[in-house]
Amino acid sequence: MKKIQILGTGCPKCKKLAENAEIAAKEMGIEYEIEKITKIGDIMKFGVMITPALAVDGKVKIAGKVASPDDIKAMLS
């Protein structure tokens, strides 16, 4: 199972990134869990200084922009 983590305080871009991640995982047919990390201290533990960010299995894949579902599929494979 893939653990997809959305790092951000809940802004519209963070919500869009979460939506895109869910679309990507569903289209790939993989087992996944989405976790939203909203506390600044927890986000900083990932070394992320700009949100939104997306991490897969604890590794940051993108920060500071909203990735498309197709981009996220590449990060999940």
**Domain CATH number, residue 12:** 3.40.30.10
pLDDT digits over 17-70, tens only? 999 999 999 999 999 999 999 999 999 999 999 999 999 999 999 999 999 999
Torsion over CA: 62, 70, 10, 32 (sign): negative
Average pLDDT over residues 2-14: 96
Domain total in the chain: 1
Catalytic residues: 11, 14
- Give, in order, the Cα–Cα distances in Å from 25 to each of 44, 45, 50, 68: 25, 25, 24, 12
Model confidence at 12, pLDDT cuts 50, 70, 90, reads very high
Domain containing 39 equals: 2-76
Torsion of CA 33, 34, 38, 44, to 10 degrees: 70
Average pLDDT over residues 2-11: 96
